[in-house]
Amino acid sequence: MSKTGNLYAVYGTLRKGFGNYNRLLNNEHCEYLGTQRTDPNFTMVSLGGFPGVIPSGKKEVTIEVFRVNQPRIDKQLDFLEGYPSFYQKMKIQTQWGEADMYILSEDYLGKKEVESGDWKEFIQGK
């Protein structure tokens, strides 16, 4: 796959094994680069069927990083995430380079916290 395109750091329903991954990232225009934990600067909350990350806090978040080389998919990701009216984007550093991560405002602090910062682990533990 081409080394050009946009990097995305995903932490919820866009991760492998979830429905939105199969809908948007499981194709020839998207390359899975790997999984890592972020720096401990975040709070992950549950919004019911999906999580959100708030860029304040002291927790690491488990992310999967993908390279997307199709502008149509970039637009579909923004649409799915309700960008810019619901989620915003934040650049974070990953071991593969700078990636966009969809984030929530601090208005969502107080929602049920995902203590581990790992949505997959949280869902499997329910």
pLDDT in tens, the chain (126 residues): 668 899 999 999 999 999 999 999 999 999 999 999 999 999 999 999 999 999 999 999 999 999 999 999 999 999 999 999 999 999 999 999 999 999 999 999 999 999 999 999 999 986
User: Is the CATH code 3.40.50.300 the one for domain 6-110?
Assistant: no
Summarize pLDDT for 38-49 with one digit per residue, the tens.
999 999 999 999
70-79, long-range: CB within 8 Å, 24+ apart, which pairs? 70/5, 70/29, 70/30, 73/24, 73/25, 73/27, 73/29, 73/30, 74/6, 76/24, 77/8, 77/14, 77/24
Domain boundaries, the chain: 6-110
CA dihedral 58, 114, 68, 76 (to 10 degrees): -120
